[in-house]
Structure 1
């Protein structure tokens, strides 16, 4: 017999990262994964990264492209989704209605029943950015009474709130 493995097998939880194009999803993901800001291009398709938050928590994060032409395919990434992180550009007031409609459509998908939601108000460090309260109102977050959700401010470029955001995802998954 070979030696026993001391590390217990841990299930990797599937997290889907969605939001409109230019909201900062890829920047956020790579900031968390690599600890630095990387130059990103619009995501065509998806990026996937496995994050080990601690010895007990591993997340596989799917960063899905947010261009209008990609959104019809979003539903295909929701089948194994265990938590949704929806990223909005808190400084882009003109697209908040579009973001709200996109979020509502995602959450209506049959695969999203009981899936916890974290909304990240990215670019919150910009002087013209909306507050978390304003973003929450714009996205009509109070209407989501059928699920566990949180909303937080962050800045992918500066790294503010990024680690905390994914620790919150881990907590939401435990509540689920």
Structure 2
């Protein structure tokens, strides 16, 4: 039995879950975290400013302590993302679907992360949030192209991947996010 297996078993026993929230700058990562904190801890919503570095928040859900690691998405910080991969149970990738010019960049960054699967861990669940859907005039057209691009990127063996459209300002599409994260931690 390897050290990582022992650590994973201990985390399951302690019901701890580590979730990275990643994506390009201004994709809505901190707004997603703010909505989760507001919804699950009854904390008032806050004014969001760009995350420089990272912020860690813990939310209790279904007897699990979920650590949400909100990591800045500026291009100068992206080379350091892989420093946070170790012991990650769930990766939430947030994409801003309202800015068409940045969609390919976001898909490429996700592709780069997934090519480094040995660092992220092959058992890490991946959730892709297509955020800011309320700002897109022809959402179906954008989603159709994006789904094709993501289908190529996300073809990984034995890796459960969830994709959903969201509006982090009002929580639309985020209602079951914590359930998905906890299921990912439990390996379900």
Q: What's the TM-score, normalizing by structure 1?
A: 0.85
Aligned mate of 2:148, from 134, 137, 156: 137
Q: Secondary structure at the match of 1:30?
A: helix
Determine the C-alpha separation between the residues in 1 that align with 2:132 and 2:185: 25
Aligned residues: 167
Where structure 1 has 5 or more consecutive residues not aligned to the other structure, the ranges are 1-8
Distance between the aligned counterparts of 1:137 and 1:37, measured in 2?
35
Q: Which residue of the partner structure matches residue 33 of structure 1?
A: 37
2-structure distance, mates of 1:76, 1:130:
34
Q: 1:33 to 1:23 in 2, by over 3 A?
A: same
- Among candidates 110, 114, 120, match of residue 123 of structure 2: 114
**Could you report, residue by residue, the CA deviation over 1:78-120 in whole angstroms, capped at 9, with x for unpaired residues?**
0121110000011111111100111011112222223110000
| Distance in structure 2 (CA, Å) of the matches to 1:114 and 1:133 | 28
Distance 1:127 1:17 in 2: 22
Aligned residue in 1 for 2:24: 20
Aligned match of 2:50 in 22, 25, 42?
42
More helix by share: 2
CA distance in 2, matches of 1:43, 1:129: 30
TM-score by length of 2: 0.80
CA–CA distance in structure 1, aligned partners of residues 56 and 138 of structure 2: 28
Relative distance call for 1:101 and 1:85 in structure 2 (3 A) is: same
Q: Deviations over 1:140-168 (max 9, x none)?
A: 35642321101011111011122312212
- Kindly report the root-mean-square deviation, in angstroms, between the aligned alpha carbons of the 2 structures: 1.9
SS state at 2:33 partner: helix
Separation (CA, whole Å) in 1 of partners of 2:179 and 2:144? 21
Cα displacement (A) at 1:134: 3.7
